[in-house]
Structure 1
């Protein structure tokens, strides 16, 4: 009997502890305990949301410089990855740009690595103390053009609320902090899906854009968010953007690594996620999410690092991090597997889907493979679309080993290798903490145009970029009565490709052009032709002209899709414009009054 009482007491005691723990957890979640208790709870969980020292005392860049380092071969470069924070590599010159501490400067000198300081970049290194003084909930301190994590999440939610038929915000997973703290700290990883939910019954193109795997690359999250805002704000106003949501699904994940981004907001040059289990001290803890992917993880020598303190640390196993798991799981839901099981199996020419991973910096655009210089099975199609997208910002389009360095475990290799979709990595701009004037003048418009082209090609990324672009399309008059004629003009251009000489796409003569009404070519049943203004299709750029008789059209707005074909028979992506047919005025006829005449005239 006494044993039974003892057992009951133990069970009651354990149950009480569990209940107390649950109540404490709920109280912390609801912020109903004082901040020290919350921090104690997070500390026990291994979650650090504040620097171990005052940011005015602990500065990642204190006494560090940015330097250009000469290296001799691939082995020497891989050694640098493990020892210093490499920012950029210029493969042809065999130089690397890196931030190096005084101790690292001594090591470089001892190991025979010549280096010179980049004084302008050194002067621009962030100061966490200054960031703390300029704290702002809407924008990153000193960089008003970049939203904070909080502001980005709020704006994405607002877009979904304001456009319920066009946008849906989905929670696709948790950050490392959120998993570790059971939701007390950290963030959701969110995907904003843009499409006209009322347009159904046909195959839609799929485009996925992710940003901020490396949170110190400030431009990436803002570009992704601006892309969403552009598509939604212009829907119904710009027909060439409207059709993108009618016939595609565009998925935008602006903050893959929200935890790391919060440290950037405090002035730290944070690259990895915030995993503190690696055994490396703050602020070098974490895993490089773009080396943690499950496709050919840790595949090639020097393509990632096993050093837990390296900024290129790949993690303990493939897809070990919750952020990586969230993105890969989501991509499996979006894309069909369209490539064979063999490493050398190409995806079919009619593959659907484009994946874009936004990074910085270098003014580069990479196509697979990123882990090898060996051509990917769809190399020609990947390079062609890359050159078309690279045309707008005038970026160099290349395999990474050709113009920077190779790396494994990347999101781009995962997307192409697993599904066969056309996948790319952008390296935006000229530095991580890009100034707002440069961002607004040389990145925003150019990259948004590039992303619009990606959306146009998303349904058939290995086919549509082979054809000419239709630009400068117009209709005159744009508003007219039924039975009247509208004149269509445009330019067909097969020369718009990044690069020059042998490093660009060959241009073909234009051979035909056409337009369809209220449906793109893959859904239209009838077409009208456009003619070359000079009377002959014989050039790589042709001015086009055509007419549309509106007899029989009911009053309303009509979308006109224009396409051009090259001499090899390739049709390019459509460009859309709109016309409005207005009803004939039906005003009341004037009343006829009998004229009064003097009696003598009657």
Structure 2
């Protein structure tokens, strides 16, 4: 950083409003570093000038704050001399102090406080287990050595080991490749575990999940689970997120940043931009030369064997749109999906920028991370992995920054958010790897059957689903979307096979003329012998672009091997037939007719028979056996539920919010700012053309609520409602909504988040910009379809309660709406015959 830049930064930071004395006073901090602190900044460019020397974790452009680690008293004094006003980041410090106590008191390694994250050795053991358990699907590829493995003496080090997953019994030429690696920054726990779980998911679901099966058959997935094993052996024994680099002992051996930053050591634009340092104790030390480290050399040479070089190493020539392959380097904590170019703060767009952004928006649809060019938020990083893969080979390359907390993200965050949100993004990237620059802009196929379709040999079956061109993340600009024009099915052979035959399917409403279409059609099995086949489905939009396939299994069965289970479902009190009861047997679903009759055909087997219908207690008959060519009869008697409905409101009876207040007993709380809760027509859960409650995420500070009438809850009451939302969310979740309950007529309110049993809160609201709900868990981000939420109210039995939906917004940017529909509060009990007669009026007096 130049002296002029330092002076400018001092001036700017001194203009920043003072923080509280207690939060700024280092004398009140823990005695020993490191400290995790939050600093306000008024000028991003000047802050990025410090990136070579200061360990920035996460930069929030809206709040103009940077989360950073202060590693020593010397560094603290340096920052103070530059005018930084710092305050402890208490959540991270609390975690650190707890881990430090555990380590000192119990002699426990830090990583053992995170049971969801495997150590390096446990990861290598998992790889060995994969290879021995799935020998036809897994090859372990030694692509090189870690620094210690290559360097005589000292620690033994590790092989840089890749898990290659593909069906080796289907040796096709030029299978498309997805390459993903985790934790080349040693202290970032979640990436290595995510990539390991991804490998285990692919292997465990092979033969069970149709999409996973065809991916493993027709593609190759190469996974470097531990990208920096030497460095990770340091990080996993530290009580604080410190060790970032590899273990190269020639650099800063006695400091707290030993080694070389692997993500500044790759070939493309090495030492030709910003964001790296020649100071070997800097966290972003680039090394003495490009690919100087054995780990980066191994990675660089290996990817050359996976992706052909289809563009010159300049800044202007695009890769061909037909270029196959996707490259993922997975990191932690900024909640971003990044793509080239990012070698400098001012690096321009890559020649394939638009195509790279499209695939980023596709992946971000699942994770809700912000898709952006690599230097947009975090600044430049020359010698980075994603720039290198795209810049030297032309492959679609991304850095995925996971989120939730800090580098040692909690296991709760990993299990409930990081893993489930990113798994479908990885699946999508694998699908798109056949031709990512084209396929990502085409529509998706969704809502296919969860279980295999079963059909007799020579017969035909009906397939139905949804095609949509709307599954993009729109937090950083909007992707062009188009009407669906066609959906094709391919049975037994995929579309890219020269022998495949397309079966055209039809729009359920008669015409393909919108961006989301339900479809159906009949597919014949003539010529197919008994066995399991894959049915691929692909949708095409008005630009003529076809998207990635989705698949379902089809089981073709000889009639002699088909068994039948059938019978009648009746009401336990009246003996009357129960129509439209849902039955499930061996993965096949059926519903009863008006006479309560059902009949399910499947390959002869033994399975549980499950029966359910709204208003009745569900029932399960265990181990029902079917025999080929025979019928097994099972009659079922269902016990009706006398459901006590305290609130049942689909909002359709109200013309406006005033009618909801006067007729339904709803109310709106006295607002902070405006309270625009209202009734709108045209978008609801049940019909798509009726009413829902709506409130808008405004660009001003508001605290507004929609509130129920008071009601006394019986035992085992439950709240159910459907909602969708688009709250402001970027590097942090700024606006959002919560559910609260009052047991004293609205005087005090308690958050219901911990009582949600289905589709609960998904983020934590930022504490900045005066949001009244700042710092709280909440519904955040974008939820594009109506989704059901269930809340267990049993803890409030026999109390008079009111429930409210509360939105908090800050004072800058707005977003979309929060829509709430079909609100129910119910309690269930076994019906008595006398109650039923009274309700039906049979004992009414003349």
TM category (shorter chain) comes to 0.7 to 0.9
Match for 1:283 among 256, 259, 265?
Answer: 256
What are the residue-to-residue correspondences of 1:257-406 with 2, within 5 Å?
257-267=228-238, 268=240, 269-279=242-252, 281-300=254-273, 302-372=274-344, 373-406=347-380
Q: Partner of 1:145: helix, strand, or coil?
A: coil
Determine whether 1:451 maps to 2:426.
yes
Tell me if the contact between 1:475 and 1:489 (Cα under 8 Å) persists in the aligned partners.
Answer: no
Distance 1:106 1:220, change over 3 A: same
The answer as to whether partners of 1:394 and 1:499 remain within 8 angstroms in 2 is no
Within 5 Å, which residues of 2 pair with 1:192-211?
A: 192-211=163-182
Preserved CA contact (<8 Å) 2:264 2:276: yes
3-state DSSP of counterpart to 2:311:
coil
Aligned residue in 1 for 2:541: 566
Residue correspondence of structure 1 range 521-560 to structure 2 within 5 A: 521-523=495-497, 524-560=499-535
| 1:1-80 map, 5 Å | 62-73=32-43, 76-80=46-50
| 1:380-431 deviation per Cα after TM superposition (whole angstroms, max 9, x unaligned) | 1100001101110111000122222111111111110111010000110131
Q: Provide the C-alpha distance between the structure 2 equivalents of 1:411 and 1:398, rounded to a whole number of angstroms.
A: 16
Instruction: Give unmatched runs, 5+ long, in structure 2.
Output: 1-29, 562-626, 630-846
Distance 1:392 1:75, change over 3 A: closer
Greater fraction strand: 2
Within the candidate set 51, 57, 68, 1:98 is matched to: 68
- Cα deviation for residue 489 of structure 1 reads 0.6
Total equivalences in the alignment: 528
Q: Deviations over 1:295-350 (max 9, x none)?
A: 110111x3211111111111111111111111101111111111134321100010
* Counterpart contact for 1:61–1:125, Cα < 8 Å: no
Q: Residues 223-276 of structure 1, C-alpha deviation per residue, up to 9 Å, x if partnerless?
A: 000000000000011111100011111000011111111111212521011112
SS at match of 1:564: strand
Equivalence map 1:466-481=2 (5 Å): 466-474=441-449, 478-481=453-456
RMSD: 2.4
1:551 to 1:512, Cα distance in 2 relative to 1, 3 A: same
State the alpha-carbon separation in 2 of the partners of residues 135 and 181 from structure 1: 30
SS at match of 2:117: strand
2:200 alignment partner, one of 213, 229, 247 = 229
Shift of 1:93: 4.5
Match of 1:499 in 2: 474
C-alpha distance after superposition, 1:512-540 (max 9, x if no partner): 11011122211143110111101111111
Alignment partner of 2:559: what SS? Answer: coil
> Larger deviation: 105-114 or 226-235?
105-114
Corresponding residue for 2:596?
none
Cα shift at 1:94: 4.0
User: Alpha-carbon deviations, 1:89-108, whole Å to 9, x = none?
Assistant: 22455432111144333322
More helix by share: 1
Deviation at 1:543, TM superposition (A): 0.4
Structure 2 Cα separation of the partners of residues 172 and 201 of structure 1? 22
SS of 1:152 mapped into structure 2: helix
Residues 179-207 of structure 1: CA distance to partner in whole angstroms, max 9, x if unpaired?
Answer: 12358521111001000111123431111
**Paired residues of 2:145 and 2:294 also in contact (CA < 8 A):** yes
Alignment-derived partner of residue 491 in structure 2: 517
Looking at structure 2, the residues matched to 183 and 478 of structure 1 have their Cα atoms a distance apart, in angstroms, of 58
Which secondary structure does the structure 1 equivalent of 2:91 belong to?
helix
Contact kept? 1:479, 1:581, Cα under 8 Å: yes
Match of 1:156 among 127, 133, 147: 127
1:244 equivalent in structure 2: 215
Conserved 8 A contact 1:174-1:322: yes
For residues 563 and 174 of structure 1, what CA distance do their matches in structure 2 show? 42
Give CA-to-partner distance per residue, 1:120-153, whole Å, 9 cap, x none: 112122645634766779x922000000001000
**Structure 1 unaligned blocks of 5 or more:** 1-59, 590-602
C-alpha distance 324-61 of structure 1, shift in aligned 2 (>3 A): farther
Q: Give the corresponding residue for 1:410.
A: 384
Specify the alignment match of 2:416 in structure 1.
Answer: 441
Deviates more, 1:182-191 or 1:346-355: 182-191
Measured after TM superposition, the shift of residue 557 of structure 1 is 1.0
Tell me, yes or no, if the aligned pair for 2:339 and 2:373 is still in contact at 8 Å: yes
Mapped partners of 1:133, 1:165: distance in 2: 47
State the 1:554 CA deviation. Answer: 1.4
